[in-house]
Amino acid sequence: MNPFRRRIQTAMQSGGGAAAWTPASIAGLQLWLDASQITGLNDGDAVATWSDLSGNANNAVQATASSRPTYQTAEINGLPAVQFDGVDDFFDLTSNINATNFTVFIVGRKSTGAALHFVGVCAKGAAGALAPLYYGGDGNFYTQTQTGAYRVTGSQNATLQSNFLYAGYSNAGSPQHRLNRVLLGGSNTSSGSPTAFDAIGARTIFGDYAAQFVGEVLVYDSSLSAGDITLLEDYLQAKWATP
């Protein structure tokens, strides 16, 4: 067992006076959404507010009833997930996240057969704003940093239709993508100006809406170290049983 997994399991199993390890134990956590911590809803209920667990009260909210994603039980490793319908579902963030560098983790699954976009944490209303994660209908990942958009070559569509663990981060101004703990290749291109992250599941200016299930979302305001990325991937993989 690697030391990161051992550290997580020890912390999660500890009790009494010992404080359990959580993603908030790593500095810079700006947003933490965990579908397994949603309470008071039944299977299929609309989610008006997905509470932020980071301590920043940056809740994901949707005031329009018809655009609310739904709560689904036992979707990923027997745990609940939030489902976006690919038509008009999305969340606004209570406060924009402004970060020159960032690290984002998403556990999810794209809806089977969906031809629509997988959209993670985004800037929904600015032309060219893909920050920091957008999966296009052409089968490529895109992201936005201070240096422009980043394209990952090769379709990941089949992988995304199974439960997956995504990690995206800006490394010295150059964005990187990891899917199921594997670093993906790609090339930098210029596309628009970077803006704040302000939504989950949509880039409304382009009519891009996610068709997906989401179990957990973590956003940090820095490019985390390789050790911290591994630690968080261990935590998410152990919890959600992703590859």
How far does CA 132 lie from the centroid of its chain? 9
* Whole-structure pTM value: 0.86
Residue 138, token pair as written in the block? 């052409």
Identify whether the C-beta of residue 234 lies closer than 8 Å to the C-beta of residue 8: yes
Amino acid at 25: S
DSSP state of 229: H
Q: Which residues contact 194 (CB under 8 A, 6 or more apart)?
A: 123, 129, 131, 144, 145, 146, 148
| Tens place of pLDDT per residue across the chain (243 aa) | 554 456 555 555 554 434 588 999 999 999 999 999 999 999 999 999 999 999 999 999 999 999 999 999 999 999 999 999 988 999 999 988 876 678 889 999 887 655 545 566 776 655 444 444 555 555 566 665 545 555 555 567 667 778 989 888 876 566 778 889 998 776 666 554 455 678 888 877 777 788 889 999 999 988 899 999 999 999 999 999 999
Query: Facing residues of 217 across strands?
Result: 33, 106
